[in-house]
Chain A
Amino acid sequence: MNKLFALVLAVTGSAASAQTPTTNPMPDGSRDMYAGLGIVSAPRYEGAEHSKLRALPVLQVQWSNGVFVSGMSAGMHLSQQPLVEFGPLLNLHPRRTESGSGAGVGVVEAAGTTFQPGPVLMRTSGNRLTGMDEISLRPELGGFLNVYLAPAWRLTSSVLGGAGKDRNGVRAEIGIQRLAIDIAPHHTLAFSGGFTFVNSAYNRSYFGVSPAESASSGHQTYQPDGGLKDVHVGARWNWALSPSWMLTSSVQASRLTNDARRSPLVERPSNVTVSTAFAYRF
């Protein structure tokens, strides 16, 4: 419907985790808030073969002073110009547990050539994160810069640091968004695409295998370098059911590249995340 409706969902681990909403001029002291709940089907972790269905909270709030909360991100719009948006950005990078965010118990996969012989339990668990270190939820700090090429086309970029085992992982995203195409009364589509670059510390935390992890997991030691981590595209469909209620749905596809793709933890380089949620505009 319009670019304001580009809700950013709290999809754990998805490329949307650091997206920023568009600026929203409003009266002093006012705010615009969406909150809701839905479901999401997302890979257990980046590169996982199987997906997991879970509840999806939706949250986007903007205040008149420029501060916003958008899914797992928060920040502040500092620009006074309509064609440029920039400001600080805070993001919560999801944790990675040995169980791979839960559910993949009982899945048996064929042994790959990259595996060293390991404990029988590990080889038959079907969970490539078994034996890997847990990485806690990490706050990431950085900033964003968006530039409008045209009113409905936005170049987006962000840099965030603080993820990974030693909190020294850095990732940068650059992308383009086509905001709000009216396809029918109260129905809009928006599209996005982009690239994610990371440093070696990030890749080693989330896609590498240390000697200690190799011993406990059965994977070969793997020390990836930094560089382009993934390419991703997405589409969002918003249906404004009433002035207050909206059904927002999205599909995002990402493909791991380079050293991340070659990680022994990666079961498949391409992942798809699908979500739908009802949101109420307060």
Chain B
Amino acid sequence: MMRAAHITACVCLLSTASLAAAQASARAGEWASYRDAYRAMVVFDKYGGPKTQLLHHLQLVPRDKGALGDNLQLALGGKTVQTSLALDPLGRTTLPLLKAAYDENAVLSPNRGIGAFALRLRVSIAPQADNSYDGAELRAACEQALGFARHVDATARTRQCVGVRMVFPKKGVEVAVRVRATSGAEQSLPVAPAAGEVDADFPSVSYRFGAEQARVITYSAPLAIVPLFE
């Protein structure tokens, strides 16, 4: 189901974010500029288009995919600003937009050595508390993400929403997603890693939009719902 031609919102926004790729093989070099992170994140805040069904995060992407692990945090340090940002299993966090941290040219650095890493803006679709998604609502959410992608990336103008990809935790939950048609018929969607994506080592389930109305039901909450563009 997942084709190489898929361009996910994450990829689209990655380069737009243009964050400093704070990469280093030495511990001393593991840092990124808060100003650059701020600059990328504030674009979403200032975006005036529809975004009610979207989430945006700062995502840490280590070169070594196994480096994220548990309890990884991103330390924000300036002259007066000192705080830690907890990362979720995908390496995402909410970056506080602080004028003081900007003015102090604060630094973002992991709380333990993880090697080279990059920071990027990641936009995803907000999950539902009941784990039940109307297909039309998913499409509308995807269109919101595409609207933002077009706002910041001219190459996104020729792309269309084709589906979503749900990313689940590696362990501790049952990964199962079903599509229920209006007729009542149900179909299980296959679980497969999304090759080439930043979260390729997480279980993923892709759902492509169809002509018929349907409801997507998950048996556990996804970590992220990624819009898919082609």
Contact = CB atoms under 8 A, between A and B. Distances in A.
Interface of A: 1-4, 24-30, 32, 81-83, 148-152, 179-180, 182, 184-186, 188, 240, 242-244, 281-282
B103 interface: yes
B46 A282 contact: no
B23 interface: yes
B15 A26 contact: no
Contacts of A179: 18
Contact of A30 (B31, B43, B99): B99
B22 A186 contact: yes
Contact of A25 (B46, B153, B155): B46
A131 to B, nearest CB: 50
Classify the interface of chain A: helix, strand, loop or mixed.
Answer: loop
A4 B36 contact: yes
Contacts of B23: 182, 184-186
Given A2-B36, A25-B46, A26-B39, A151 B15 contact: yes
Given A26-B35, A27-B99, A185-B29, A150 B154 contact: yes
Given A2-B36, A26-B38, A151-B15, A185 B102 contact: no
Given A2-B18, A179-B18, A148 B107 contact: no
7 contacts: A2-B18, A27-B97, A28-B99, A82-B152, A83-B153, A184-B23, A188-B21
Contacts of B206: none
Contacts of A184: 23
A151 B18 contact: yes
Nearest to B18: A2
A185 B25 contact: yes
A281 B104 CA distance: 10
B39 A1 contact: no
Contacts of A281: 35, 105
Contact of A180 (B18, B43, B105): B18
A182 B21 contact: yes
B19 interface: yes
Contacts of A81: 151
B16 A29 contact: no
B85 interface: no
A150 B21 contact: no
Most chain A CB within 10 A, of B16, B21, B23, B107, is at B21
In order of increasing CB-CB distance, the 10 nearest A-B pairs are A185-B23, A27-B99, A151-B15, A151-B16, A2-B18, A185-B24, A243-B107, A182-B21, A25-B42, A82-B152
B116 interface: yes
Interface in B118-170: 151-155
A87 B109 CA distance: 36
Contacts of B46: 25
Contacts of B39: 4, 24-26
Nearest to B33: A243
A152 B42 contact: no
A1 B24 contact: no
Contact of B43 (A25, A240, A243, A282): A25
B20 interface: yes
Contact of B152 (A1, A83, A149, A180): A83
A185 B22 CA distance: 7
A266 B15 CA distance: 43
